[in-house]
Amino acid sequence: MIPSYANFGGKIHGGILLSLMDKVAYACAAKHSGAYCVTVAVDNVEFLQPVEVGDLVSLHASVNYVGNTSLIIGIKVIAENVTIGSVKHTNTSYFTMVAKNLEGKLQEIPGLVLETREEVRRYLEAIKRKELKFQYKEQLNNEKSNLAIDEELYKLEKERCVLNLNNDTNPTT
Protein backbone atom coordinates (compact mmCIF):
# COMPACT_ATOMS: atom_id res chain seq x y z
CA MET A 1 0.00 0.00 0.00
CA ILE A 2 1.48 3.32 -1.06
CA PRO A 3 1.45 6.57 1.02
CA SER A 4 -1.18 8.26 -1.18
CA TYR A 5 -3.70 5.60 -0.07
CA ALA A 6 -3.39 6.71 3.56
CA ASN A 7 -5.89 8.73 5.57
CA PHE A 8 -5.01 11.59 7.94
CA GLY A 9 -4.16 9.06 10.64
CA GLY A 10 -1.54 7.42 8.44
CA LYS A 11 -3.50 4.19 7.97
CA ILE A 12 -4.86 2.94 4.65
CA HIS A 13 -8.23 4.47 3.85
CA GLY A 14 -11.16 2.03 4.19
CA GLY A 15 -12.50 3.31 0.86
CA ILE A 16 -9.30 2.22 -0.92
CA LEU A 17 -9.75 -1.31 0.40
CA LEU A 18 -13.43 -1.30 -0.53
CA SER A 19 -12.58 -0.15 -4.04
CA LEU A 20 -10.03 -2.97 -4.43
CA MET A 21 -12.56 -5.46 -3.07
CA ASP A 22 -15.21 -4.26 -5.51
CA LYS A 23 -12.82 -4.70 -8.45
CA VAL A 24 -11.87 -8.20 -7.33
CA ALA A 25 -15.54 -9.09 -6.81
CA TYR A 26 -16.25 -7.87 -10.33
CA ALA A 27 -13.41 -9.95 -11.83
CA CYS A 28 -14.54 -13.05 -9.98
CA ALA A 29 -18.23 -12.59 -10.86
CA ALA A 30 -17.55 -11.72 -14.51
CA LYS A 31 -15.25 -14.72 -14.93
CA HIS A 32 -17.82 -17.14 -13.51
CA SER A 33 -20.80 -15.70 -15.33
CA GLY A 34 -19.10 -14.78 -18.60
CA ALA A 35 -21.01 -11.51 -18.43
CA TYR A 36 -20.82 -7.91 -17.33
CA CYS A 37 -21.75 -7.71 -13.63
CA VAL A 38 -22.89 -4.94 -11.32
CA THR A 39 -22.50 -4.69 -7.55
CA VAL A 40 -25.86 -4.89 -5.78
CA ALA A 41 -25.00 -5.25 -2.12
CA VAL A 42 -22.00 -5.48 0.16
CA ASP A 43 -22.40 -7.28 3.47
CA ASN A 44 -20.31 -7.42 6.56
CA VAL A 45 -17.85 -4.62 6.07
CA GLU A 46 -16.00 -4.40 9.36
CA PHE A 47 -12.36 -3.48 9.33
CA LEU A 48 -11.01 -5.49 12.24
CA GLN A 49 -7.43 -4.24 12.04
CA PRO A 50 -5.80 -1.27 10.30
CA VAL A 51 -3.70 -1.66 7.17
CA GLU A 52 -0.41 0.22 7.23
CA VAL A 53 1.45 2.03 4.46
CA GLY A 54 3.94 -0.50 3.08
CA ASP A 55 1.77 -3.53 3.83
CA LEU A 56 1.37 -6.05 1.05
CA VAL A 57 -2.38 -6.59 0.69
CA SER A 58 -3.81 -9.78 -0.80
CA LEU A 59 -7.46 -10.28 -1.65
CA HIS A 60 -8.73 -13.86 -1.81
CA ALA A 61 -12.03 -14.27 -3.62
CA SER A 62 -14.38 -17.16 -4.24
CA VAL A 63 -17.80 -17.61 -5.77
CA ASN A 64 -19.73 -18.77 -2.71
CA TYR A 65 -23.25 -18.92 -4.10
CA VAL A 66 -25.13 -18.55 -7.35
CA GLY A 67 -28.79 -17.75 -7.90
CA ASN A 68 -30.45 -17.25 -11.29
CA THR A 69 -28.79 -13.97 -12.17
CA SER A 70 -26.99 -13.09 -8.95
CA LEU A 71 -23.92 -14.47 -7.28
CA ILE A 72 -22.24 -13.93 -3.95
CA ILE A 73 -18.50 -13.44 -3.88
CA GLY A 74 -16.67 -13.87 -0.59
CA ILE A 75 -13.54 -11.76 -0.25
CA LYS A 76 -10.93 -12.16 2.46
CA VAL A 77 -8.41 -9.36 2.86
CA ILE A 78 -4.96 -10.11 4.23
CA ALA A 79 -2.33 -7.49 5.01
CA GLU A 80 1.26 -8.59 5.34
CA ASN A 81 4.26 -6.71 6.65
CA VAL A 82 6.98 -8.44 4.67
CA THR A 83 9.84 -6.89 6.66
CA ILE A 84 8.79 -8.37 10.00
CA GLY A 85 6.78 -11.27 8.58
CA SER A 86 3.46 -10.42 10.28
CA VAL A 87 0.15 -11.33 8.66
CA LYS A 88 -3.21 -9.71 9.54
CA HIS A 89 -6.69 -10.72 8.49
CA THR A 90 -8.35 -7.33 8.16
CA ASN A 91 -11.84 -8.38 7.00
CA THR A 92 -14.02 -10.80 5.11
CA SER A 93 -16.95 -9.36 3.17
CA TYR A 94 -19.61 -10.65 0.82
CA PHE A 95 -20.44 -8.92 -2.45
CA THR A 96 -23.71 -9.68 -4.22
CA MET A 97 -23.22 -9.15 -7.94
CA VAL A 98 -25.79 -9.41 -10.72
CA ALA A 99 -25.02 -10.37 -14.32
CA LYS A 100 -26.37 -8.23 -17.15
CA ASN A 101 -26.34 -8.69 -20.91
CA LEU A 102 -25.33 -6.10 -23.47
CA GLU A 103 -28.83 -4.56 -23.39
CA GLY A 104 -28.54 -4.09 -19.62
CA LYS A 105 -31.08 -6.83 -18.91
CA LEU A 106 -30.59 -9.47 -16.22
CA GLN A 107 -28.69 -12.50 -17.54
CA GLU A 108 -28.91 -16.05 -16.26
CA ILE A 109 -25.60 -17.40 -15.04
CA PRO A 110 -24.14 -20.92 -14.90
CA GLY A 111 -24.59 -23.01 -11.76
CA LEU A 112 -21.73 -23.81 -9.45
CA VAL A 113 -19.93 -27.15 -9.13
CA LEU A 114 -19.03 -27.73 -5.48
CA GLU A 115 -15.88 -29.83 -5.32
CA THR A 116 -14.86 -29.63 -1.67
CA ARG A 117 -16.56 -29.64 1.72
CA GLU A 118 -15.24 -26.09 2.18
CA GLU A 119 -17.16 -25.00 -0.93
CA VAL A 120 -20.27 -26.76 0.37
CA ARG A 121 -19.83 -24.97 3.73
CA ARG A 122 -19.54 -21.58 1.98
CA TYR A 123 -22.61 -22.26 -0.13
CA LEU A 124 -24.73 -23.30 2.84
CA GLU A 125 -23.46 -20.36 4.86
CA ALA A 126 -24.44 -18.02 2.01
CA ILE A 127 -27.99 -19.43 2.03
CA LYS A 128 -28.16 -18.89 5.79
CA ARG A 129 -26.85 -15.34 5.42
CA LYS A 130 -29.46 -14.58 2.75
CA GLU A 131 -32.26 -15.91 4.96
CA LEU A 132 -31.08 -13.91 7.98
CA LYS A 133 -30.68 -10.78 5.88
CA PHE A 134 -34.22 -11.12 4.60
CA GLN A 135 -35.57 -11.61 8.15
CA TYR A 136 -33.50 -8.68 9.41
CA LYS A 137 -34.84 -6.37 6.67
CA GLU A 138 -38.44 -7.41 7.35
CA GLN A 139 -38.07 -6.96 11.10
CA LEU A 140 -36.28 -3.64 10.77
CA ASN A 141 -38.98 -2.25 8.45
CA ASN A 142 -41.59 -3.48 10.88
CA GLU A 143 -39.84 -1.90 13.88
CA LYS A 144 -39.36 1.36 11.99
CA SER A 145 -43.00 1.65 11.03
CA ASN A 146 -44.13 0.80 14.58
CA LEU A 147 -41.65 3.04 16.36
CA ALA A 148 -43.54 5.01 19.03
CA ILE A 149 -41.14 7.78 19.91
CA ASP A 150 -42.85 8.94 23.09
CA GLU A 151 -42.99 5.41 24.49
CA GLU A 152 -39.35 4.78 23.75
CA LEU A 153 -37.96 8.05 25.06
CA TYR A 154 -36.91 6.35 28.32
CA LYS A 155 -34.26 4.44 26.32
CA LEU A 156 -32.40 7.68 25.81
CA GLU A 157 -31.87 8.12 29.55
CA LYS A 158 -28.87 5.79 29.48
CA GLU A 159 -27.56 7.17 26.20
CA ARG A 160 -24.94 9.87 25.75
CA CYS A 161 -27.34 12.39 24.25
CA VAL A 162 -29.28 15.38 25.58
CA LEU A 163 -32.91 16.01 24.67
CA ASN A 164 -33.60 19.55 23.56
CA LEU A 165 -36.77 19.54 21.49
CA ASN A 166 -37.71 23.20 22.12
CA ASN A 167 -36.97 24.21 18.54
CA ASP A 168 -38.34 21.06 16.92
CA THR A 169 -40.38 22.26 13.96
CA ASN A 170 -41.85 18.84 13.25
CA PRO A 171 -43.09 17.47 16.60
CA THR A 172 -45.29 14.79 15.00
CA THR A 173 -42.49 12.68 13.46
Ligand X SMILES: CC(C)(COP(=O)(O)OP(=O)(O)OC[C@H]1O[C@@H](n2cnc3c(N)ncnc32)[C@H](O)[C@@H]1OP(=O)(O)O)[C@@H](O)C(=O)NCCC(=O)NCCS
Given the rule CB under 6 A, which of 7-15, 26-34, 36-44, 82-90 is the region that contacts ligand X?
A: 36-44
Nearest 5°: the CA angle 46, 48, 53 is: 110
Say how far apart CA 4 and CA 18 lie, in whole Å.
Answer: 16
Which residues, including other chains, have CB under 8 Å from residue 82's CB and lie 6 or more apart?
Answer: 56
What is the SS3 assignment for 4? helix
Which residues, including other chains, have CB under 8 Å from residue 106's CB and lie 6 or more apart?
Answer: 68, 69, 98, 99, 100
Given the rule CB under 6 A, which of 24-32, 35-43, 115-123, 163-171 is the region that contacts ligand X?
A: 35-43
**64 counts as binding ligand X under rule CB under 6 A:** no
**93 counts as binding ligand X under rule CB under 6 A:** no
Q: Considering only residues 10, 19, 34, 41, which one is a binding residue for ligand X as defined by CB under 6 A?
A: 41
Residues of this chain, 142-171, that bind ligand X according to CB under 6 A: none
Given the rule CB under 6 A, which of 28-36, 44-52, 68-76, 121-129 is the region that contacts ligand X?
A: 68-76
Binding site for ligand X (CB under 6 A): 38-41, 67-70, 96, 98, 106
